[in-house]
Amino acid sequence: MNINEIVNILSYPFMVRAIIVGILVSFCAALLGVVLILKRYALIGHGLSDVGFAALSLATTIGVSPIYVATPIVIIASFIIMYISQSKKINGDIAIGIFSTGALSFGVIITAFSKGFNMDVYSYMFGSILAMNKTDLVVSIFLSVIVIFTFILFYNRLFIISADEDFARAIGINIRFYQFLISLLTALTVVVGMRMMGTLLISSLIIFPAFIAKKFVRSFKYLVVLSALFSILCFVLGLIASLVFDLPTGAGIVLVNIIVLILCSVINCLLCIRKVAS
């Protein structure tokens, strides 16, 4: 495939929709990823995407647009996971494990009872750029704008809660409210991104960019900015790679993220060695 053909494909309406939603989702996921990985909540996205899979299977079976079914179900699940994670008796990872395996088996059972595994379910799990119609585009833009606006508005609060939760609580900040806000925003990002990335791979958008960016920055502000840049860059490269090599979109983007992670780790090591030597 030459450059002209790629440019041609990129100008198709479905591709334009995919690119708009992809960039928005990558941006949202990168912002939230910063808070989630610093607070060790990174796997919440993974648990929620499995819940999303169950919701998508349910939506397909009853014949309703997936985003309308998935949005409320994933939001409710995110609140329940966060609530259980706060309990001193149950660890957060156990709560996520229970939800994710439970939801996955629920989705598989519903699919098996309806019409068995087909291309729809395959594309839900591993992502497809053909998945977005015009309504999905409008809803996705709306939800992404909510996530980005809320993150910017509460940026300083999210910083203090990520840095030192005890101090934040001691000066009177309502930690529980912000924990549920983080859950809500993660749920919205997962819902918007799972059609394109696939339910099994959406959490990589949350984890990779922030983790890669963390290697290079000294401040929280730069972490947020660099993480967003890495996320969008990896999305665009991954999308092109998936076109050129005919890969499922989600898998292509994850592959690019892994390559960038390895490259950045090597560069970071070399920088450290140079610093020690000098």
Stretch that binds other proteins, among 50-58, 110-118, 193-201, 214-222 (CB under 8 A): 214-222
Stretch that binds other proteins, among 1-9, 24-32, 58-66, 163-171 (CB under 8 A): 163-171
Stretch that binds other proteins, among 8-16, 70-78, 130-138, 157-165 (CB under 8 A): 157-165
Q: Which of 172, 246, 276, 277 binds other proteins (CB under 8 A)?
A: 172
* Binding positions for other proteins, 219-248, rule CB under 8 A: 219-223
How far is Cα 275 from Cα 118, in angstroms, rounded to an integer?
Answer: 54
Six-digit token string for 207: 């984890």
Stretch that binds other proteins, among 3-11, 51-59, 151-159, 254-262 (CB under 8 A): 151-159
Residue 277 found at the interface with other proteins (CB under 8 A): no
How far is Cα 227 from Cα 233, in angstroms, rounded to an integer?
Answer: 10
How far is Cα 278 from Cα 276, in angstroms, rounded to an integer?
Answer: 6
How far is Cα 140 from Cα 135, in angstroms, rounded to an integer?
Answer: 8
Q: Which of 6, 163, 267, 270 binds other proteins (CB under 8 A)?
A: 163
Residue 63 found at the interface with other proteins (CB under 8 A): no
Q: Which of 21, 32, 38, 188 binds other proteins (CB under 8 A)?
A: 38
Residues 6+ apart with CB under 8 A from 21: 132, 136, 137, 140, 141, 144, 192, 193, 196
In the complex, least distance from residue 170 CB atom to other proteins, rounded to whole angstroms: 4
What does the DSSP assignment read for 151-191? HHHTHHHHHHHHH-HHHHHHTT--HHHHHHHHHHHHHHHHH
CA angle at residue 129 from 25 to 186, to 5 degrees?
25
Q: Interface residues with other proteins (CB under 8 A)?
A: 38, 153-157, 159-160, 162-174, 214, 217-223
